[in-house]
Amino acid sequence: MVFDRRQLLASAAATGAAAGLPPLAWGDAVPAAPKASVRPVTETLHGVAVTDPYRWMENPKDPEWTPYLMGQNAHARAVLARIPGRDALAGKIGAVSGKLAAVAAVQPAGGMVFSQIRPVGANTLKLYVREGAHGADRLLYDPDTEAAAGSHFSLDYWVASPDGRYVAFGASPAGSENSVLRFMETATGKLLPETIDRAQFGAVSWTPDGAAVFFNRLKEGAKHGDPDHYADSVAWLHRLNTDPATDVKILAKGLDPAVPMLDIDAPAVIAQVGSDIVGGVVQGGVQNEIAAYASPLAAALAGKPAWTEICDRSDDITGAALFGPDIYLLSHKDAPRFKILKTSAHAPSVASATVAVPESAAVIKGLAAAKDGVYVQTLDAGLGRLSRLGADGKLTPVRLPFDGAISFIVADPMADGCWFELDSWVKPPVVCYAGPDGAVTATDIAPKPDIDVAPYESREVMVKVRDGVMVPLSIVWRKGLKRDGSAPCYLTAYGAYGLDLDPGFGPRVLPWLDLGGVYAVAHVRGGGELGDGWHTAGQKLTKPNTWRDCIDCAEYLIRQGWTSRPKLAVEGTSAGGIMIGRFLTERPDLLAVAIVRVGDSNALRAEFMEAGPANVPEFGTIMSPQDFKGLKEMDALSHVKDGVRYPAVLLTTGVNDPRVAPWEAGKFTARLQAATASGKPVILRVETDAGHGLGSTRKQRDDETADTYAFILWQTGDRRFRPPR
């Protein structure tokens, strides 16, 4: 699907909705939500007739599409603007979010420390560098300097060279994630002459001498919206200060019979300073398990890599680290909570690999190789843990400053120690350095914010769900809360890709808690909180566990007095749209509000959008009879029934979203509006200067959060947020 953003912006400007609508006076009329045309398309799939009433929305050139989307946005923005207390709440959210310096990534290189930070009060993430752990930060790249009027730019990814002399980075406009790869000289901030487009994911790895990079690039002619947009990408070698047209193809489908690849496979070549080999990694879409190969570095630099297999996808390897003469592999083969294997870098063999770290009660989440050892990140009963695996094979725990979750671990293979970020639901993040002696030093890379967290509490509980499984549930509240069912509750869950919703400090939650709300996170099956088995227990045919776990956690919160049905709001984002979409359609009686943020609600058609084929390993394909059964069950759109009293629903989308196409939200909105018998609002909030939300500005997130909280509080009966009749 080709998405003409210029047409959308023109329409948005005409309706006054491009950057949000001006507040309406209470007496002003709210523009009606447009009624979508019903043009049924019926297909028979594996003997089952499936009717899609809004297939036309998948065509961006349909003359009804843009007016429909922008009309929905105009209606939603007007409804939200009329909620009393919304603007004051937005001010509180903006004030507290602006106090936190958000750290997205850190990299030590050449004695320097690079970091991607959104400074206190800033709107976007920027790139900084400092000399050593305690030097002063110096601004290297500010995406705001490239933003066009009325839009914004985002720093999507970056990697410093091993000696810190250069930085490779990708940036894109308006949340599109359509990155252009560029190079900067660290000392001067000077940009090198070359630019490389179609570098959406980058996967940049520097050669040990810092003179070139390996990177991933989409195929020539790739078009946004097309289902084959990400197909047949290539790993290239680019030498600095040369024309990208002279880049050398290193790893691609059909290039080397020793490396079999499918259309959806994304290749990457990884080099490491101090090593004379490179790794070739092949990832199948969103599949966590990789195929990996090794080649002499010299052969790869000559454009003629000689690949030797390290592991196949059937070996269940999800990560690797090179330390000295050995490769350490993170595997869930016969170990659902993962183990670490060790094999020779120059003669790799999974079959003869030894177990360096056996499976235990804690889930192993990641590895980072430093000069003094391999640092191992684990998750133990919801809490982050860190250990160092030395060359002698001894695993030594690192004592952390407080109990919380580790957001990331990074290391320089030429330097001792490990860098990591630690936070919790009620403790702001701190970036720490763990030395080879186990001592941990807190740095000021994430300075302590001027936020009083003393009034807030959190609790981790286990909920027994309908099939007897114990599901982790996190609950956060302000001290003094009465557990009498009167509190509004914001419950969220995700449950996909084996990803975790670990404890993390979110300042935007605090105004919600101050208003007497409860915030809860259900760690449902499909995620990775309890290992690979937890992931596969909420995938394809087992996907119903994802939303039913959340339903059962919601009922637990009600039984325990944390909230009640008239006060419950449930939210799902992106792949979490499957969770909330099916929660909403299976148990509409259980909740007062559903929030569907850039959500996947039309699973039967998802593989035909831009990012669809890459998601087949996670959700399945309608071409398979078995997968079709799972997709039909998780498709929220086809489970909407006429005449049901659905709760209030707030849906969101971004017109530049490359991950979940806006037509999914458009279809689900239209169907719910036509079907509901409750009289409750169903509104679609559209961001015209954003995509999937990954590159959204702080202001955009603040405004969306304010709209969401105000909508929930209105619909759960808070008089302070009740519009006049």
Q: Which residue has the tokens 């990400």?
A: 230
* DSSP conformation letters of 446-506: SPPPS---TTEEEEEEEEE-TTS-EEEEEEEEETT---SS-S-EEEEE---TT--------
Say if CB 376 and CB 389 are below 8 A apart: yes
Beta-strand pair 354-357/339-344 = antiparallel
Instruction: Return the bridge partners of 315, or none.
Output: none
Q: Distance from CA of residue 633 to its chain's centroid?
A: 24
Task: Return the pLDDT at 3.
Answer: 24
d(CA 377, CA 358): 14
- The SS3 of residue 270 is strand
Task: State how far Cα 349 lies from the chain centre.
Answer: 33
Partners of 521 in beta bridges: 474, 492
Angle at 147 between CA 226 and CA 92, to 5 degrees: 100
Tell me, what's the pLDDT at 224? Answer: 86
At 91, list the tokens: 């001010």
The amino acid occupying position 648 is: A
pLDDT of residue 28: 64
Question: What's phi and psi for 410, nearest 5 deg?
Answer: -140, 155
Report the Cα 638 to chain-centroid distance in Å: 26
Which residues does residue 248 pair with via DSSP β-bridges, in sequence order?
Answer: 237
Query: What angle do the packed helices 625-634 and 576-586 form, to 10 degrees?
Result: 70
> What integer pLDDT is reported at residue 694 of this predicted model?
87
Q: The tokens of 647 are what? A: 């709760």
Q: Where are the beta strands (DSSP E) in 177-231?
A: 180-185, 202-206, 212-217
> What SS3 string covers 539-587?
CHHHCHHHHHHHHHHHHHHHHCCCCCHHHEEEEEECCHHHHHHHHHHHC
* Phi/psi of residue 96, nearest 5 degrees: -80, -35
CA separation for the pair 293, 282 (Å, rounded): 9
- Helix %, strand %, coil % of the chain (to 5): 25, 30, 45
Query: Does an H or E element contain 634, and which?
Result: helix 625-634
DSSP 670-708: HHHHHH--S---EEEEEETT-SSSTT--HHHHHHHHHHH
d(CA 94, CA 507): 9
Chain length of the chain: 725
Q: Which long-range CB contacts under 8 A does 289-293 form with residues at least 24 apart?
A: 289/313, 289/314, 289/315, 289/316, 289/317, 289/318, 290/317, 290/318, 291/259, 292/317, 292/320, 293/258, 293/259
Distances (CA, A) of 167 to 125, 150, 321: 16, 28, 22
User: How far apart, in whole angstroms, are the C-alpha atoms of residue 577 and residue 600?
Assistant: 5
Beta bridge partner(s), residue 650: 595, 683
Q: Indicate left, alpha or beta for 124 from its phi (over 0: left) and psi (-120 to 50: alpha).
A: beta
Residue 22: Cβ-neighbour burial (10 angstroms; 0-12, 13-18, 19+): exposed
* C-alpha 77, offset from chain centre: 26
Closest CA to 688 of 10, 222, 191: 10
Q: How wide is the angle at C-alpha 105 spanned by C-alphas 474 and 490, nearest 5°?
A: 25
User: What pairs with residue 457 in β-bridges?
Assistant: 477
pTM for the model stands at 0.95
Six-digit token string for 614: 């890459």
CB-CB contact of 340 with 376 (8 Å): yes
CB 405 within 8 A of CB 420: no
Name the residue with tokens 């320089």.
Answer: 412
- Cβ burial 345-367 (10 Å sphere, 16+ → b, else e): beebebeebeebbebeebbbbbb
Q: Which fold has domain 46-96+451-721?
A: Rossmann fold (3.40.50)
Q: Which residues, 6 or more positions from 188, have their beta carbon under 8 angstroms from its beta carbon?
A: none
CA angle 274, 277, 281 (to 5 degrees): 120
Residues with Cβ within 8 Å of residue 302, at least 6 apart in sequence = none
CB 613 within 8 A of CB 227: yes
- Residue 576, number of CB atoms within 10 A of its CB: 30
Look at the block and give the residue holding tokens 């009740």.
722
In the chain (725 residues long), the average pLDDT of successive 10-residue segments reads: 27 32 54 98 98 97 97 98 97 98 97 97 97 95 93 96 98 95 98 97 96 97 90 97 98 96 96 97 97 97 97 97 97 98 95 96 97 98 96 97 96 97 97 97 95 98 98 98 98 98 96 98 98 98 98 98 98 98 98 98 97 97 98 98 98 96 98 98 96 94 98 98 90
User: Which tokens go with 498?
Assistant: 């084996």
Q: Give per-residue burial for 244-253: e unless 16+ CB within 10 Å, then b.
A: eeebeebbbb
Residue 164, token pair as written in the block: 């810190």
